[in-house]
Amino acid sequence: MSLLTTIHGELRWLVALAALVVVVKFLIGWLGKRDYTALDRSLLTVLTITLDINVLLGLILLFFGGGFSGPRLEHATTMLLAAVAAHMTAVWRRSTDSPTKYRNQLMLVLLALALVFMGVIRLQGSFMF
């Protein structure tokens, strides 16, 4: 389980990096009133997939690796909510108004990112270690 714990812990950096790229790209798209492209959708998909994989690893660790303590349950709940927020971006998938699509999806990505930060801090006391 320690290898799985390490992978789960390190994968958060990929989630954070993917979220940062999406936030910057979507801010540029929204404020610059640019057209929403296939690249934007791909970046959002990468973020959602990395978050989903990390949530799945976390659930495996929760159920098979050490018990249901209060902080671990809070962490798992917060991360599940972050994944839900990331998936809610799909509501605007078919929107034809690019600035609105960028803005709404950006707000949900920021919500997901805030939940990830809160969940990690709740479990470990800080985001770095």
pLDDT digits (tens, 9 = 90+) for 90-103: 999 889 999 999 99
Q: Supply the pTM of this predicted model.
A: 0.90
Cα of 12 vs its chain's centroid, Å: 9
Distance CA 104, CA 93 (A): 10
Q: Residue 40 in 3-state DSSP?
A: helix
The pLDDT tens digits of the residues spanning 12-33 come to 899 999 999 999 999 999 999 9
Distance CA 120, CA 129 (A): 9
The CA-based diameter of the chain, rounded to the nearest angstrom, is 48
Distance CA 109, CA 20 (A): 9
